Every structure is written in C-alpha cells, then in structure tokens.
C-alpha cells in the first residue's frame, strides 16, 4: 500500500516521521539526563519544548536541503549514508552550539550532545527499516514463508540432495520428509522431520502441503504404482525425478523436477530389452527411417542412433520436422561416428525413393510415414489412402528392387476390423507387404517384409495426455469423446524398442503384435491425471471440484474399443512383449489387380467407389458414418445450390 502512494504523499509521510523523531529523541535525552520522564510542555525548572522546537527548526531545513526526501530509501546505499552523515554533522554542530555553548532556558546543556546522537540513530534506523521492508528483503522473506508447502517422499541420498537444492527455491518450501522405513519416523534430517506415509493426509490438512516430490528414482515399478495409488485420494500434486541413469553425471537440482512420467500414469512394469535383437539389424548397418520427424519415427531414430548404425537416413516430407530431428540428433551422431543424412522426400514419389535406395543401399528400412489422425483421414480419405497404402507400396517395392534386407512397417490396432479410413488403409498396407513377402518367399530370395501392430502411444502428436495436461493447466474442462472409449496405451520409447526387436525376428510376412497390457478407459486416465495434479474432478458427486469432464461425442470413424488381433490365434515369440499373428491376405497377382482399380478411383476422387473398393479389399471394414470427405460434401452442397 505504501509503494502505491503518490510521491508527494510519501515525502509528507517521511517528513512527519522525522518531526516525530525530533520530539521523541528530545524526550528520551531528557530522560537519560534526569533519569525521569518530564512533560514536553514543561515541568518545574525544565522546558523541553524549546529543545524540541530548535531540533525541528534545524533538522527539517537541513534534511530538505540535503535531499532526504528525494532519496528512494528502499534502494539507498553508501551515497545516501554519506549524505546522512554530512547532514547530521552540520545538525550536531548547530544544535550543540545553541544548546550547549549558548544555552537555552530550562534545557540542560548535556541535551545538546545527547539529542543529536539519538536523532542520528533514530533516523538511520528508520531509513534502514524502510530499505529492509520496502526494498525486497522483507517481501522476499514473506514470499518464502508463503511458498506452497511440499514434502519429499524418500529420505535417502536423493531426498537429502533434493532438500538441500530446494532450500532457496522460490517455487516451493519443503517442510518434511516422508519415508516407508519406520525406523526413521520421528527423526530429523536436514532440519526437517521424517514422517510416516500415513501422516500425509494430516500434513495436507494442518500444514497446507500441496506437493509431494518423489525422490526414489530406483524404486521398483510395482512399489511406485502402490505409492501413487495411495496419493491419489489425498489431493496433492505429485512430481518426480529422472531415473538414476539421467542423474548419474550430476547432483539433483530443482530443475530436475518433472511432471509424472507417462509410465506412472499407465502403471506398466517395463521389460528389459533384448540387446541382441536390438543390435541385429542396426549396429554397423545403413538404416533408413521414413516419417523420421513424426512421433514414432523420431523416437525410432533416437533408439537406432544409440545402437551405432554406420549411416542413418532420415526421410521426411515436412521440412520443419526434418530440420528439428536432424538438429537434435546431429551432435549424438558425431559422438558415435555415425553418419546422419536428412532427406526431404515423399514416400509416394517413386523416383525419389528409388534414387535414395540406389544411392545408399540401406540394409534395414523402418516405414513410419503415415497419416494417422482418424478424423483428418476420414475427412480426406483419398489423400490418406494414397499416403498410407500407395506410399507404403512405393517404398517397399523400391526397397525390394535395391536389395534391402529387412523392411518393417509400423502399423496400428485400428487396422483390426476397422471402422475408419485410416485403420482400413493401414490394414491394406499390411496386406500389400504380406503379398510382397509371399511372392518373395516363392522366389526364395528378396527382402524380409514384416509389420508391427500396436495401439496408442502416449506423448505422440495425437495423444490425449499432452492435450489433457494442457486442459488441466488451463483449469478445464477436459474434453472426452465418449465415457466408454477404451484404448491400449504404450509409451513411445517402449514402442520404438519393441519395433526394432520385432523386426529382428522377422522371417518374411510376419505380423507382429505388441503386448499393450490392459486396455485403459480414457475417462479413468483423465481422472488419474487430475487427481495426481492435486486437484479434484468436478462431477455430480463433487459439484465443487476443480476440473470438469466434458463429453463431446464420437468423431467420424472413431470406435469405442480397439483390438489388436483379427483372429484369436497369436503365437508367442522369444520376447515376452511381442506376439505373432496369422492374418489372411490376397496373393500378389489378385491384390495388384484390385489395387489398380482402387488407384483409378483415388485419382478421380470418387469417394463412393473408394469406400466400396476398400470394403471389398479389407475384410471386416465397416464404415461407421456417412461420407464426410470435405471435397465430396462441398461439391454436393454446390450441386444442390
């Protein structure tokens, strides 16, 4: 409030304080001299009012002339102190001259010496207090006291380092540790008490704890999941630290604090990769990745580069996406003596793909380029099918003609009994590779074609997790298409590793299916994210909650449930998370003829024929909506108008 006052008001206040100090210090000087309090209006032989009037008459003009009321005291420093000393030296000289040397009636001469010293101390103290209170020190202390309260879960070495790092944090104030070891309960570590996890709810109520910092990077996933489940009903935001590998090169700092890993939201127990399978088709070889700038493609590139290929060819249609992934990977490639080659290309461009294949002769191709957003492809079916089917076929045939040993297609669970164009196009791409693989098998040579089918990856460009996080930050609502929508989920790094390992097991024509664990209801995932952010869901049972859930309705082509298998006959492989499916397909000769008819319809953008041909080719394809192609709809509206 003081800082908001006008400048004249601040000067008047400072002047009034100095007048009061003149009065107070004269009164105090009389007490020190006489050892008793006297009336300022005069009492007996003593007349302190003359000493007060003289003090004010000398002090105020001197203070004004010396700029006391022009100084911004909360920013004052040595220069201001020198000014104060000069003013008080002159004040003391004048006051001593009048009171001590000349004398005033009813005023002891010693007052002339005592009062200037007292006034100097009083004025200096008020200026120092103003600097402390208004200059930031006081506000900083108040701000530190008002920081959100946090507790550290884990009183081990990592927890101690984190507590030390957070001592001066402006973001939050750590007030206690929580640890599972009952031998530590009641003890003090780094001046912080150690509590039992059962005390957390009480700390939230009594101390206002709002955040729990998980400082147990090496904890087993099962125990971590149990802790998160126990924290969900307590209404605290949960933040975590990187794993031990990420922290191996340095100490823990507040910058290391992260939102919960997507793994934590899934609760999946990770499976250690088979390093022989990872290295088989990558290490020391020329590897090509299409769609290298996409969510899956870019993670594939990161994982492949860590396995030290001789060359890694990045194929991408988007200039920005290619630039971004190349800039990210180039320093790592140089440190591993791997050659990184960024190539702008469309997988539908036969000449360009053959040019690339004939120049570098890759050993392994990972085909991740695809249009994958269900509603967008539904509204643009011809473009989606051309890219996903014809682009795959162009790339696969170019690879086969130039001696590529292994070709791995990244597929999707939406290819199983599809209800949308995107899923149907991916199933048709699988069938193309199956037909090519069968033809190569008959000829007993050629490229090993395989495909890896899995569900949604969390954190991708189309994932609900970043969308939900943004909506939570904005205060909601979280938008869901349907309360019963259920999906399989996997993290991008896990999916990329499994793709590489699955491709290494291929014999030709294999359809690999990744074990996605248990399917997750999207609404349950949303609730978990809200609760682990320290908030509550706003619904009929809790109308005072923080974040509402809003159902918007299924989008064109969207299914309530996804499947990973067309049949019920998956076979195990040497990897516990990778299965092998047997899927029916058309022989190459029949497939090629049918595909040619589809291509004619695509070039003419005859949406009705396109849909009919897709239904004929893809077993189980059952469109769930009317045609929603934008061009088709606009042309229909124009014809009616």
264 in Cβ contact with 491 (< 8 Å)? no
Sequence-separated (6 or more) residues with CB below 8 Å from residue 58:
91, 94, 95
* SS3 annotation, 317-353: CCHHHHHHHHHHHHHHHHHCCCEEEEEECCCCCHHHH
> Using an 8 Å Cβ cutoff, are 214 and 223 in contact?
no
Residue in the block written with tokens 């200037």: 116
Q: Under a CB-based contact definition with an 8 Å cutoff, are residues 241 and 256 in contact? A: yes
Extract the tokens encoding 410. 């990244």
Helix (H) or strand (E) holding 614: helix 607-617
Query: Nearest-5° angle of CA 316, CA 362, CA 294?
Result: 25
The span from the CA of 78 to the CA of 98, in Å, is 30
- d(Cα 380, Cα 392) in Å, to the nearest integer? 18
Catalytic residue among 386, 414, 559, 580: 414
Task: Determine the Cα–Cα distance for residues 415 and 616; give it in Å rounded to an integer.
Answer: 15
Rg (C-alpha) for the chain, rounded Å, is 38
What single DSSP character describes residue 371? -
Q: 3: number of CA atoms within 13 Å, CB side?
A: 10
Q: Where are the beta strands (DSSP E) in 215-302?
A: 237-240, 258-259, 286-290
Q: What SS3 state is found at 631?
A: helix
Question: Which of helix, strand or coil describes residue 575?
Answer: coil
Cα 585 from Cα 438, distance rounded (Å): 10
Beta strands in 441-560 (DSSP E): 448-454, 456-458, 478-480, 486-487, 489-491, 510-514, 520-521, 537-538, 547-551
- CA dist 492 and 302 (Å) reads 11
Helix (H, G, I), strand (E, B) or coil at 379: helix
The answer to whether residue 414 is catalytic is yes
636 vs 641: CA distance, rounded Å: 9
Of all helices (H) and strands (E), which one includes residue 212?
A: strand 209-214
Supply the DSSP string of 406-459, one letter for each residue: EEEEEEEGGGSS-SSHHHHHHHHHHHHHHHHHHHHHHTT-S-EEEEEEE-EEET
Distance CA 549, CA 538 (A): 7
Q: What's CA 70's distance to the chain center, in Å? A: 48
Task: Write out the catalytic residue numbers.
Answer: 414
């Amino acid at each position: 409030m003081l800082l908001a006052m006008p400048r004249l008001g601040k000067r008047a206040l400072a002047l009034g304080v100095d007048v009061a100090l003149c009065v107070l210090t004269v009164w105090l000087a009389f007490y020190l001299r006489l050892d008793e309090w006297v009336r300022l209006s005069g009492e007996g032989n003593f007349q302190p009012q003359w000493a007060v009037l003289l003090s004010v008459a000398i002090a105020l003009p001197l203070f004004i002339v010396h700029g006391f009321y022009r100084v911004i005291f909360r920013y004052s420093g040595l220069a201001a102190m020198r000014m104060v000393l000069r003013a008080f030296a002159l004040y003391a000289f004048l006051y001593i001259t009048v009171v001590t040397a000349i004398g005033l009636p009813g005023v002891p001469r010693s007052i002339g010496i005592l009062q200037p010293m007292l006034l100097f101390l009083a004025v200096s103290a008020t200026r120092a207090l103003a600097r402390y209170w208004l200059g930031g020190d006081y506000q900083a202390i108040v701000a530190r006291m008002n920081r959100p309260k946090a507790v550290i879960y884990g009183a081990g070495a990592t927890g101690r380092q984190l507590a030390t790092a957070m001592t001066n944090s402006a973001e939050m104030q750590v007030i206690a540790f929580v640890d599972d070891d009952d031998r530590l309960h009641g003890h003090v570590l780094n001046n912080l008490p150690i509590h039992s996890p059962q005390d957390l709810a009480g700390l939230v109520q009594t101390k206002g704890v709002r955040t729990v910092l998980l400082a147990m990077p090496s904890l087993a996933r099962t125990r971590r999941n149990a802790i998160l489940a126990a924290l969900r009903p307590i209404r605290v935001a949960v933040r975590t630290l990187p794993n031990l590998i990420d922290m191996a090169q340095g100490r823990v700092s507040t910058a290391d604090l992260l939102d919960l890993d997507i793994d934590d939201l899934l609760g999946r127990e990770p499976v250690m990769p088979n390093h022989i399978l990872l290295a088989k088709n990558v290490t020391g070889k020329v590897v090509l990745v299409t769609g290298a700038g996409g969510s899956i493609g870019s993670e594939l590139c990161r994982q492949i580069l860590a396995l030290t290929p001789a060359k890694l060819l990045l194929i991408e249609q988007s200039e920005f996406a290619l630039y971004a992934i190349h800039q990210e990977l180039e320093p790592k490639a140089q440190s591993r003596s791997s050659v990184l080659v960024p190539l702008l290309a469309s997988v539908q461009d036969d000449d360009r793909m053959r040019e690339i294949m004939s120049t570098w002769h890759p050993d392994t191709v990972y085909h991740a380029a695809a249009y994958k957003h269900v509603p967008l492809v539904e509204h643009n079916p011809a473009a989606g099918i051309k890219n996903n089917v014809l682009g795959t076929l162009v790339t696969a045939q170019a690879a086969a003609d130039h001696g590529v040993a292994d070709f791995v297609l990244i597929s999707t669970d939406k290819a199983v009994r599809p209800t949308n164009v995107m899923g149907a196009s991916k199933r048709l791409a699988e069938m193309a590779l199956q037909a090519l693989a069968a033809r190569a098998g008959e000829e007993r040579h050629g490229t090993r074609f395989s495909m890896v089918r899995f569900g949604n990856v969390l954190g991708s460009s189309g994932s609900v997790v970043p969308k939900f996080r943004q909506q939570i930050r904005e205060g909601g609502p979280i938008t869901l298409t349907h309360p019963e929508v259920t999906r399989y989920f996997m993290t991008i790094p896990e999916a990329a590793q499994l793709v590489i390992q699955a491709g290494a097991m291929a014999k030709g024509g294999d359809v690999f299916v990744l074990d996605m664990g248990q399917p997750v209801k999207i609404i349950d995932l949303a609730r978990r994210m809200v609760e682990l952010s320290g908030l509550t869901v706003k619904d009929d049972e809790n109308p005072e909650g923080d974040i509402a859930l809003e159902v918007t309705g299924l989008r064109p082509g969207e299914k309530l449930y996804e499947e990973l298998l067309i049949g019920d006959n998956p076979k195990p492989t040497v990897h516990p998370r990778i299965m092998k499916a047997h899927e029916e397909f058309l022989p190459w000769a029949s497939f090629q003829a049918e595909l040619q008819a589809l291509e004619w319809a695509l070039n003419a953008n005859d949406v009705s024929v396109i849909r009919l041909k897709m239904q004929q080719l893809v077993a189980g394809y059952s469109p769930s909506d009317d045609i929603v192609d934008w061009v088709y709809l606009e042309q229909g509206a124009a014809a009616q108008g």
